[in-house]
Amino acid sequence: MSTSATAVDDRPAVQSGQLRLGDALSVNRLGFGAMRITGPGVWGPPADHDEAIRVLRRAVELGVNLIDTADSYGPNISEELIREALYPYPEELVLATKAGLLRTGPDEFHAFGRPDYLRQQCEMSLRRLGVERIDLFQLHRVDPTVPAADQFGVLADLQKEGKIRLVGLSEVCVDTITEAAEIVDIASVQNRYNLIDRKSDDVLRYCTERNIAFIPWAPIDAGDLAKPGGAAYEAAERLGATSAQIALAWLLQRSSRMLPIPGTSTVAHLEENCAAAPLKLDLKTVEALDEAL
Ligand SMILES: NC(=O)c1ccc[n+]([C@@H]2O[C@H](COP(=O)([O-])OP(=O)(O)OC[C@H]3O[C@@H](n4cnc5c(N)ncnc54)[C@H](OP(=O)(O)O)[C@@H]3O)[C@@H](O)[C@H]2O)c1
């Protein structure tokens, strides 16, 4: 009789469950957003460089295997820190970056989708991250001043050339996803979505039906729902959790395609956020949160 037991992976992010990205990659459903490891207004270096490095390394220890970043976070700073903290990368780590936003100063950003610029930014992200191929390359915004087909077309070209593995979109409606999908396979959509902002419910439904990963940004914003009397606050009190954890657990239970990427500059908040993954909300709590808006 064999005495070997199957090891249980009890890292919290693993307990969020897994989803397939495209046809080749599998990731844990709780990821990490690396926008907050930059300076104020997503501009310049973080106030505490060493803590930013600790956050990235701890995220991987906790089972996070998708890190979301962008050329415009810093700019460049977030990608550089990811390489500094994690290179050579663990085999299972999926790096998701973006291009298509110019950042001209603190809290200033503008869509810029000229194909030659997107190509340049892809090349620069490859260099900064130190990889031969980007796992998931997301169009940060569709630039309304450039034909959309040209923007999707350059993503298709980069994929054919082996510079990017999978393609994602950000801040798009269903019509734009279907338009893009005629030109290139879409593996993920990243829209703002949380307890108090559900404008993308139709996009979430569309993605869920088609096995497209839905990556909600600003996932822990619960607004007034996190204040005394609010549904997230009440649920947190009842379950001995925090409002941020309730917000993340609610997202994870809302769709099997959901892949939240909470961002933070501190290990303490990172650990708190990852601890939300094993949290299971009962039906009554989910209903109260669903109806709270
Ligand atoms: N596609 C897009 O257009 C787009 C736009 C924005 C962001 N994103 C991506 O989405 C990720 C997440 O979005 P986000 O950073 O805006 O929103 P978020 O993850 O919902 O919130 C981050 C903010 O909440 C704080 N925080 C984190 N954990 C906390 C906790 N447990 N308790 C209390 N406060 C906590 C952080 O401050 P501390 O540093 O003090 O923890 C930070 O100010 C970003 O990192 C980025 O990768 C994408």
Q: Which residue, by CA, sits nearest to atom 30 of ligand 1?
A: 269
Q: Is residue 69 part of a domain?
A: yes
- Residue pair 156/164 in contact (Cβ under 8 Å)? The answer is no
Q: Is residue 246 part of a domain?
A: no
Contacts of 236 (CB under 8 A, 6+ apart): 226, 242, 243, 245, 246
For residue range 76-111, what is the model confidence (pLDDT) as tens digits? 999 999 999 999 999 999 999 999 999 999 999 999
Is 33 close to ligand 1, i.e. is its CB under 6 Å away? Answer: yes
Number of domains in the chain: 1
Q: How many other CB atoms are there within 10 angstroms of residue 58's CB atom?
A: 19
Range of 97's domain? Answer: 16-222+255-264
Q: Is residue 94 part of a domain?
A: yes
Ramachandran sector of residue 139 (left: φ over 0; alpha: ψ -120 to 50; beta: rest): beta
3-state secondary structure of 199: coil
Q: Is residue 116 part of a domain?
A: yes
Q: Which residue, by CA, sits nearest to atom 18 of ligand 1?
A: 218
**pLDDT attached to residue 246:** 98
Q: Is residue 122 part of a domain?
A: yes
**pLDDT attached to residue 3:** 43
> Is residue 73 among the annotated active site residues?
yes
Query: d(Cα 287, Cα 281) in Å, to the nearest integer?
Result: 10
**What distance separates the 2 farthest-apart alpha carbons in the chain?**
68
Question: What's the pTM?
Answer: 0.97
Is 269 close to ligand 1, i.e. is its CB under 6 Å away? Answer: yes
Q: Which residue, by CA, sits nearest to atom 38 of ligand 1?
A: 264
Residue 105: exposure state from Cβ atoms within 10 A (0-12, 13-18, ≥19) = exposed
Q: Which amino acid is at 136?
A: L
Contacts of 45 (CB under 8 A, 6+ apart): 38, 39, 74, 77
Q: Is residue 202 part of a domain?
A: yes
CATH for 128: 3.20.20.100
| Distance from the alpha carbon of residue 207 to the mean position of ligand 1, in angstroms | 22
Given pLDDT bands bounded at 50, 70 and 90, which one contains residue 200? very high
> How many Cα atoms occupy the beta-carbon half-sphere of 269 within 13 Å?
17
**pLDDT attached to residue 6:** 67
**pLDDT attached to residue 129:** 98
3-state secondary structure of 166: strand
The residue whose CB lies within 8 Å of the most ligand 1 atoms, and thus the one to mutate among 51, 77, 248, 269, is 269
Q: Is residue 28 part of a domain?
A: yes
Q: Is residue 241 part of a domain?
A: no
For residue range 20-72, what is the model confidence (pLDDT) as tens digits? 999 889 999 999 999 999 999 999 999 999 999 999 999 999 999 999 999 99
Residue 280 has pLDDT above 90, yes or no: yes
Is 245 close to ligand 1, i.e. is its CB under 6 Å away? Answer: no
**pLDDT attached to residue 2:** 43
| Distance from the alpha carbon of residue 192 to the mean position of ligand 1, in angstroms | 11
Q: Which residue, by CA, sits nearest to atom 27 of ligand 1?
A: 264
For residue range 143-159, what is the model confidence (pLDDT) as tens digits? 999 999 999 999 999 99
